[in-house]
């Protein structure tokens, strides 16, 4: 390709297995050190640092210093969306990793997709909002309706604060395991934060798995019913 965006550089960055493991680990939304990411990638800390330098130069990760430590995170929602779409594409072609036993069903049930809820429960939430016309879907664009604004406010989420952030309020993200949309954007982040704050759910340490309590699942089903 002689003109236009050069996808080969981005593809080369993501295509290395160790870097792919690093990026997947950062999909949990946490900022991690090079040592922590080395364990996730199965490489030495020195090798992980080399990979992280390349990912920084490619604009895929950010580094922040806190005291003596350096923490790495994805550079933005757009990176998370690209990774989730690649996971969906790989899964649709039968390109999956060896399953990890009980963790795999849990990951498919509910997980963090960078900063919002994905998996079966993420798709259920999106479908419920759409069926009740709390969100409107125009081709790929997702908008919060007036009824939706009332619903979200009743949940205790301050829309005024969300709308001041320079990110879309609502965005659809294609789920790799269900192959249907879940809700991203600042509203998707706020809803997941609400689940944590109200003790409906917690994220498993160092994993992308989100575990709902029995009470939290019941309250989720009430808030996001599916007919």
198, 144: one domain:
yes
- Render pLDDT for 90-108 as a digit per residue (tens, 0 to 9): 877 777 665 444 457 888 8
- Render pLDDT for 17-42 as a digit per residue (tens, 0 to 9): 999 999 988 887 778 899 989 988 88
> Is 165 a member of any domain?
yes
> Is 187 a member of any domain?
yes
pTM of the prediction?
Answer: 0.71
92, 178: one domain:
yes
> Is 158 a member of any domain?
yes
Tell me the DSSP string of 123-148: HHHHHHHHHTTSEEEETTEEEE-HHH
- Render pLDDT for 54-72 as a digit per residue (tens, 0 to 9): 999 999 999 998 888 889 9
pLDDT at 205: 66
14, 120: one domain:
no
68, 83: one domain:
no
Please state, rounded to an integer, the average pLDDT across all residues of the chain: 88
> Is 141 a member of any domain?
yes
**Mean pLDDT, to the nearest integer, of 8-21?**
92
> Is 1 a member of any domain?
no
pLDDT at 94: 73
142, 97: one domain:
yes
Structural domain containing residue 190: 79-223
Cα gap 90→102, rounded to integer Å:
21
Between helix 7-15 and helix 17-26 the angle, nearest 10°, is 90
Helix (H, G, I), strand (E, B) or coil at 184: strand
Contacts of 214 (CB under 8 A, 6+ apart): none
219, 152: one domain:
yes
Q: For the chain, what percent of residues have pLDDT higher than 90?
A: 57
166, 218: one domain:
yes
pLDDT at 101: 42
62, 83: one domain:
no
Top-confidence residue, 222 or 30: 222
> Is 2 a member of any domain?
no
């Amino acid at each position: 390709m002689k003109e236009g965006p050069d996808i080969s550089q981005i593809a080369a960055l993501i295509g290395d297995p160790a870097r792919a493991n690093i990026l997947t680990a950062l999909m949990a939304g946490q900022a991690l050190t090079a040592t922590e990411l080395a364990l996730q990638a199965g490489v030495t800390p020195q090798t992980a640092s080399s990979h992280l330098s390349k990912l920084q130069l490619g604009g895929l990760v950010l580094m922040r210093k806190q005291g003596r430590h350096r923490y790495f995170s994805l550079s933005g929602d757009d990176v998370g969306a690209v990774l989730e779409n690649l996971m969906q594409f790989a899964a649709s072609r039968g390109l999956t990793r060896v399953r990890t036993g009980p963790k795999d069903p849990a990951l498919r049930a509910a997980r963090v997709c960078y900063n919002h809820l994905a998996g079966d429960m993420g798709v259920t939430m999106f479908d419920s909002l759409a069926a009740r016309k709390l969100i409107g879907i125009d081709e790929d664009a997702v908008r919060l309706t007036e009824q939706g604004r009332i619903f979200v406010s009743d949940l205790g989420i301050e829309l005024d604060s969300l709308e001041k952030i320079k990110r879309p309020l609502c965005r659809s993200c294609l789920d790799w395991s269900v192959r249907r949309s879940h809700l991203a954007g600042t509203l998707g982040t706020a809803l997941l934060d609400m689940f944590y704050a109200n003790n409906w759910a917690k994220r498993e340490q160092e994993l992308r798995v989100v575990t709902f309590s029995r009470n939290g699942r019941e309250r989720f089903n009430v808030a996001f019913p599916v007919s």
